[in-house]
Amino acid sequence: MGRLFGTDGVRGVANADLTAELALGLSVAAAHVLGEVGTFEGHRPTAVVGRDPRASGEFLEAAVVAGLASAGVDVLRVGVLPTPAVAYLTGALGADIGVMLSASHNAMPDNGIKFFARGGHKLADELEDRIETVYEQHRTGAPWARPTGAGVGRISDYAEGFDRYVAHLIGVLPNRLDGLKVVLDEAHGAAARVSPEAFARAGAEIVTIGADPDGLNINDGCGSTHLELLRAAVVEHGADLGIAHDGDADRCLAVDGAGEEIDGDQILAVLALAMRDAGQLRKGTVVGTVMSNLGFKIAMEREGIELVQTAVGDRYVLESMKAEGYALGGEQSGHVIVLDHATTGDGTLTGLMLAARVASTGRTLAELAGVMERLPQVLINVPDVDKSRVTTSPELATAVADAERELGVTGRVLLRQSGTEPLVRVMVEAADIDQARAVAGRLADVVKSALG
């Protein structure tokens, strides 16, 4: 069996790859594994379970809740809430397990299961591996140890989760948003109620789109993967800015008053300066990934802020932040982690903090984002090659060195192996888009000939 857990939980087509049986079995396995490592020691365990609005989330939630309760875990169902809300409530309520059912920005037929440990933190790789091993052992015949009588878990709804999470968001804002007009695109997803409520309570005048989930329309032509509607709405309503979430609202992209996209690197740049000015940017450092735009790095150097770069993936950003005590990190895709207030990327919190910076400075989002120049970035995927040789091919090394000399200090080359496919990603940045395209094309040809 291939590894079930990917970089962000278990994900697949609901009722095909991700079945009720799998959801139930993984939940029981998670309860057993976390019990074995002492998470439940000395008390009756509790879990917080939430989901996004996908239709399949209804039966998958039932399976997860049944699995946990059958393993002796009391369950608090919080209903449809963003992933970061489930993580927050897991910590705030002192729960032993958090479970979120969502496939994030994926299309509606997909769904996923994400587990959180005590405190609302993502599980370490070794715990995920252990859960998978235990699940497989019992799937193939070894019986579960099942509690009976009063030992089975009890299930209750925790309707207060909505207000508690919104109150948390408002409570950590540095200032109110009075006087701002904001368009919110909720992707017909998990933040459809939370985000408008939070922005309104913070004082903003809001216009909402993509806020009518029916279980089938999540991410459908809207949200952070489809900014066209948000751009048009911001211009139409004369708004100061627009905020777009993905299906589970763990990320945020924005558009300025003219409808121009503000990506995750630009959002990080704005928040880094805001936190630096407030004395909250610990060690004067922000964490990005190797895919962070070179313009972001140049801007941070100019502002005296150190940039630490990790492998691609918000879990690697988070690991670096926790290990070194950094306060801010994120990805170009809009996963932004403010570790003092969240244990994972939180799109609603990010949007609120971005709007708060606009409100407190009196400057437009375009002016604030202008702290960095987003250099043209060209990405070419080269399929059907031996990706294992990307770091050992002399021919490729020579081609990369030649390209780096040509680009100079205002350009960059990055070759990455795909984690799941036999392909190599060629990324080139340059001050000029035509030069970036030309260099990327040449390198892609060398990758094909040298590794094909």
Q: Provide the residue ranges of all domains of the chain, joining segments of one domain with +.
A: 5-159, 163-369, 377-451
Confirm or deny that 263 is annotated as ligand binding.
no
pLDDT at 391: 86
Q: Which CATH architecture has domain 377-451?
A: 2-Layer Sandwich (3.30)
Amino acid occupying residue 392: T
Would the pLDDT of 392 be above 80? Answer: yes
**Phi, psi (degrees; rounded to nearest 5) at 50:** -135, 175
The mean predicted confidence, pLDDT, of the chain is 94
Confirm or deny that 340 is annotated as ligand binding.
no
Confirm or deny that 250 is annotated as ligand binding.
yes
pLDDT at 410: 83
Q: What is the pTM of this model?
A: 0.92
* CATH topology match: 5-159 vs 163-369: yes
Considering the chain, what percentage of its residues have pLDDT values greater than 90? 86
- Encoding tokens for residue 412? 């960059």
pLDDT at 339: 96
pLDDT at 142: 80
Would the pLDDT of 28 be above 60? Answer: yes
Domain 163-369 falls in which CATH fold? Alpha-D-Glucose-1,6-Bisphosphate; Chain A, domain 3 (3.40.120)
Confidence of residue 189 (pLDDT cuts 50, 70, 90): very high
Q: Helix 194-201 vs helix 161-172: angle between axes, to the nearest 10 degrees?
A: 40
CA distance 12 to 185: 25
pLDDT in tens, 41-57: 889 999 999 999 999 99
Would the pLDDT of 2 be above 60? Answer: no
Confirm or deny that 246 is annotated as ligand binding.
yes
Catalytically active residues are 104
Length of the chain: 452
pLDDT at 420: 64
pLDDT in tens, 331-340: 999 999 999 9
**What 8-state DSSP symbol labels residue 14?**
B
H or E element in which residue 382 lies? strand 377-383
Q: What is the mean pLDDT of residues 354-376?
A: 97
Would the pLDDT of 1 be above 60? Answer: no
Q: Which residues contact 349 (CB under 8 A, 6 or more apart)?
A: 84, 169, 172, 338, 341, 342
pLDDT at 419: 67
Q: What is the mean pLDDT of residues 295-321?
A: 94
Higher-confidence residue of 237 and 40: namely 237
Amino acid occupying residue 120: G
292 near 302, Cβ under 8 Å?
Answer: no
Q: Which CATH superfamily is domain 5-159 in?
A: Alpha-D-Glucose-1,6-Bisphosphate, subunit A, domain 3 (3.40.120.10)
Q: What is the mean pLDDT of residues 69-82?
A: 98
Other beta carbons less than 10 A from residue 402's beta carbon? 15
Q: Considering only CA atoms, which of 192, 203, 257 is closest in space to residue 54?
A: 192
Q: What b/e string do you get for 239-272 counting C-beta neighbours within 10 Å, with b at 16 or more?
A: bbbbbbbbbbbbbbbbbbbebebbbbbbbbbbbb
Would the pLDDT of 72 be above 70? Answer: yes
Would the pLDDT of 92 be above 60? Answer: yes
1-15, 230-244, 436-450 — which one is most confidently predicted on average?
A: 230-244
